Structure 1
């Protein structure tokens, strides 16, 4: 009887793991699409930095909590673990900043091309 209970509990945890993973992947893709949309906006330029700023602030709070907890002995962690966690959690920040800068470089390049074409007397695009 105990074996059946263990099997059923294992299946329940497996299903919840798949559901959690699917939700996490959907949220990750949705935030990346949101970052892409915010980075391509015309004005103001700082709108594309909202998500990286929020994620960076959240990771700084988590790192501060871990460092304070380790300093007072509430958590069995040292500063190497705090720095490791800080680096791992900031991976989305790096991805958001990469999206932001790639969109901005592309936007500047297309704006420069349209200005060059306009100066030559050729009107292409809306600049």
Structure 2
């Protein structure tokens, strides 16, 4: 069964795309924990990050790096944090989030309520620095 991320990758579900290549896609989280929250997903559907083959795993961070740097420039923050939890969607993915403290990566907090227009503006801010 295809994950929601596989459907996004296939173009069956729209997203606010930040970056894409043959192996990965980065797009805005529609229920972000902070403005600028981006998901980075390999196009191959693998449930757990440590089941991703070594070559793809190494390339994943290299793909995510310019996105993280753009997030840091687009939003006032100490740095871009990274988190891999993988409980909500059975498709390996990483979260890139602008953070000022470890609590900014607390996924048990209430998510932000954002509109499509908010997401479009967030996307513009990140793309301006990519």
- Scaled to the shorter chain, the TM-score interval is under 0.3
More helix per residue: 1
* Bigger RCO (CA 8 Å, 6+ sep): 2
If the length of structure 1 is used for normalisation, what is the TM-score?
0.23
